[in-house]
């Protein structure tokens, strides 16, 4: 495993300036890589796309759908009884009303649960309690292959160039690239 220090930049120009500053501070081109990191959810780790099997915002929607289906079926059945008693006098009306009520209840319950289920505040799924992003944010990442003696120098150059979220990572550095980079891995800030 190689020791890597990396930082995110919002523009390609800022990243190129950082790479130039790293080179002027003694880091060789073979130990510097820059590449774009897509926004979270756009890394296509699954055949149908996305980073996770279930979107964090949709967790629990099946429970909301089941609750909504039960409530909708009961409401539909009650309305069906009223309509059947007053107008049609048919059992088919009861079945159709219960089915439509369950269908509408399923949609409404899933949407209600996905939106937050009436909870006062949704937790911030994108950040740790201390404000550190759970997943890497989008932008141009400049990564530097370092040794224990040069990691802080690289971090200082990246910070002075405007880099955000300066991190330390262990990974495979091959032919001037971070070969096993995982965009869904949490950022581990560099500790001084």
The percentage of residues in the chain with a pLDDT greater than 90, rounded to a whole number, is 32
CA distances 35 to 50, 53, 120, 126, 141, Å, are 20, 26, 39, 22, 5
Q: Is the pLDDT of residue 50 over 80?
A: no
Q: What is the three-class DSSP state of 22?
A: helix
pLDDT in tens, 68-121: 888 888 888 888 888 777 887 777 877 888 888 888 888 888 887 776 654 544
pLDDT in tens, 7-16: 999 999 999 9
Q: Is the pLDDT of residue 25 over 90?
A: yes
Task: Walk me through the domains of the chain, giving residue ranges and CATH numbers.
Answer: 2-43+128-178 (3.30.70.2750), 58-115 (no CATH)
Q: Is the pLDDT of residue 37 over 80?
A: yes
């Amino acid at each position: 495993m190689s020791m890597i220090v990396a930082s995110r930049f919002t523009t390609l120009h800022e990243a190129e300036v950082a790479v130039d500053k790293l080179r002027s501070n003694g880091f060789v081109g073979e130990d510097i890589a820059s590449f774009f990191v897509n926004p979270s959810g756009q890394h296509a780790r699954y055949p149908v796309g996305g980073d996770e099997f279930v979107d964090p915002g949709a967790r629990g929607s099946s429970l909301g759908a089941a609750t909504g289906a039960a409530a909708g079926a009961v409401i539909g059945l009650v309305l069906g009884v009223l309509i059947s008693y007053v107008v049609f006098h048919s059992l088919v009306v009861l079945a159709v009303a219960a089915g439509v009520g369950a269908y509408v209840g399923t949609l409404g319950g899933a949407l209600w649960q996905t939106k937050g289920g009436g909870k006062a505040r949704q937790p911030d799924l994108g950040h740790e309690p201390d404000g550190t992003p759970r997943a890497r944010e989008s932008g141009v990442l400049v990564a530097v292959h370092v040794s224990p003696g040069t990691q802080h120098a690289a971090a200082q150059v990246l910070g002075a160039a405007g880099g955000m979220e300066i991190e330390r990572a262990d990974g495979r550095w091959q032919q001037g690239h971070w070969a096993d980079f995982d965009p869904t891995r949490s950022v581990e800030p560099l500790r001084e």
